[in-house]
Amino acid sequence: MEWKRAKKYMEKLITNFLKMLEQKNLSNYTIISYQNDLVDFNQFLKCELIAIQETDYKVIRSYLAYLYSKNYAKRTIARHISCLRSFYKYLMKEKIISKNPMKLISNPKLDQKLPKFLYRNELEKLLSIPDETTPLGMRDTVLLEMMYSTGVRVSELVTIKIQDVYFHERKIKVYGKGNKERIVLYGSKLEKLLETYLQEKRIQLLKNKSNDYLLLNHLGNPLTTSGVRTILNKVIQKGALKFHISPHVLRHTFATHMLNEGADLKSVQELLGHENLSTTQIYTHVSNEHLRQVYLHSHPRANKGVKNN
């Protein structure tokens, strides 16, 4: 009976914590991930017969060892640690615990993985697939072009309203992580697509409904992040493309192409909405690799015949 009460108490704490995250306007994806991680943690505590107030550094280390034993990827474990760090910070604030065991826990050293991006020919092929003569096809083209032209996150894309677009200045107001506002820019290509979409196709998608969101689904309702991923998968299938992409690949492509064309790192950081410059710096590695490949394939003395590692 005692452990049933402890379990319900922990479940209540988790629920309240998740509500707090919702108030901070964190993405649904993050909240669901944290919820799943805390359910796993709660199950671990139950099996070990440990109440949340009794957890200390050793308990956390045992939990992390348990995660490693399940062969979780380092990034997954890093997310669990990030979740617990936020959760214990919340518990401290609510005076549920008096000491924070997460202060002694560090993140695992991640293997640096260069972000995937599209080359120009791949991008043009992708953008040519939707049928712009149909309402959904034009919407898909606008969606793809907007992600590439502005570098917005998919969570930012689906919350854009018509009043957020400053058409005369070709800029868009978006709300990033933590509801932080920033301005992104777009060019003449997207300008023409938006004009056609708003004057002709969006009205057909609305189906006599009324809402302010820019991008709509087939029912005339605002798109969701999962809806955008579904659209991308359908476009890939329709075009029989040999490469797979996610919304974030288009964001990576935006950043990589900007740097390849001479944009400075600080400007790209601002456009992407990265809080730290170090987050943006990974794209310089991508650009350097691009330059390396150009050199190896172009310079007479680049040892073209030698297999590159």
The number of angstroms, rounded, from the C-alpha of 57 to the middle of its chain's C-alpha atoms is 31
Cα→Cα distances 119→40, 114, 123, 168, Å: 40, 15, 6, 30
> What are the catalytic residues?
153, 177, 248, 251, 274, 283
The number of angstroms, rounded, from the C-alpha of 206 to the middle of its chain's C-alpha atoms is 27
Q: How many CA atoms lie within 13 A of 188 on its CB side?
A: 0
Cα–Cα distance between 10 and 53 in angstroms, integer? 10
- Phi then psi dihedrals of residue 216, to 5 deg: -120, 155
- Residue 33: which of 94, 82, 91 has the closest Cα? 82
3-state SS of the chain: helix, strand, coil percent to 5? 60, 5, 30
Beta-bridged to residue 183, according to DSSP, are 173
